[in-house]
Amino acid sequence: MLVWLGGLPELDLFGLLVEPGMLGAALALLFLVWLLNLYNFMDGLDGIAAIEAISVCLGGALLYWISGAWVHAAVPLLLASAVAGFLFWNWPPARIFMGDAGSGFLGMVLGGLLLQAAWISPELFWSWLILLGVFVVDATWTLLHRMLRGEKWHQAHRSHAYQTAARRFGGHLPVTLAVAAVNLFWLLPWALWVVAGGLSGGVGLLLAYMPLCWLAWAFRAGARE
């Protein structure tokens, strides 16, 4: 995928244009591997991984339309449609599950779409990254806390913020709906603001992610079970 895309293009980092070069290609590789795995980690509630994919893809298609690159909206719209067909059976209480093959596929493809967006414009890169905020923040926060305690991060556990929230609110459906609401009413407006040029990508990412980090802390993401 990285060879096909050509690695990572020049990015706007807080107003400074950065040429990633070979280091950027290595970081892009780590990013794809991490996104593949984090999507697998976050696929622990009925409907949550499907809702995330649909929200991000529809939001990404809207970003392309707003930015004038509407021709690129076809792939995310097709992916959202496919996942919507799956969600019919995966809606809480689920009758089928996507498993590692489904979640890993979605993580890799969404990562590829994000890197493709970076080649179209730096603003689209940051906007796609904002749209993925719920999964990126929860999984990364949880992993870092487990690693800092010396735990085996790759072992199965139930310490993600979304898992704690499901236990606290008594089911999968409230959390899945909350993820959809956060994506629609919080992350999408920030992404649209960035792609419209009203805010730099790095600043928009920080402002969008700060409340998500607070939620990860409030729900004790990564805490010892």
Binding site members: 40, 100
| Residue 223 burial (C-beta neighbours within 10 Å; 0-12, 13-18, 19+) | middle
Q: What is the dihedral of CA 121, 203, 195, 50, to 10 degrees?
A: 90
Q: What is the DSSP letter of 171?
A: S
Please give the radius of gyration of the chain, using alpha carbons only, rounded to the nearest integer. 17
Coil, strand or helix: which one is 87? helix
Identify each DSSP E strand in the chain by its residue range. Answer: 11-13, 16-18
Do residues 142 and 216 touch, judged by C-beta distance below 8 A? Answer: yes
**Can you say which residues are annotated as belonging to the binding site for Mg(2+)?**
40, 100
A 10 A CB-CB count for 90 gives 23
Token pair, residue 71, equals 């021709």
Q: How many residues does the chain have?
A: 225
Backbone CA torsion sign across 176, 182, 183, 185 = positive
Which residue, 159, 134, 139, is CA-closest to 59? 134
How far apart are the C-alpha atoms of 135 and 43, rounded to whole Å? 10
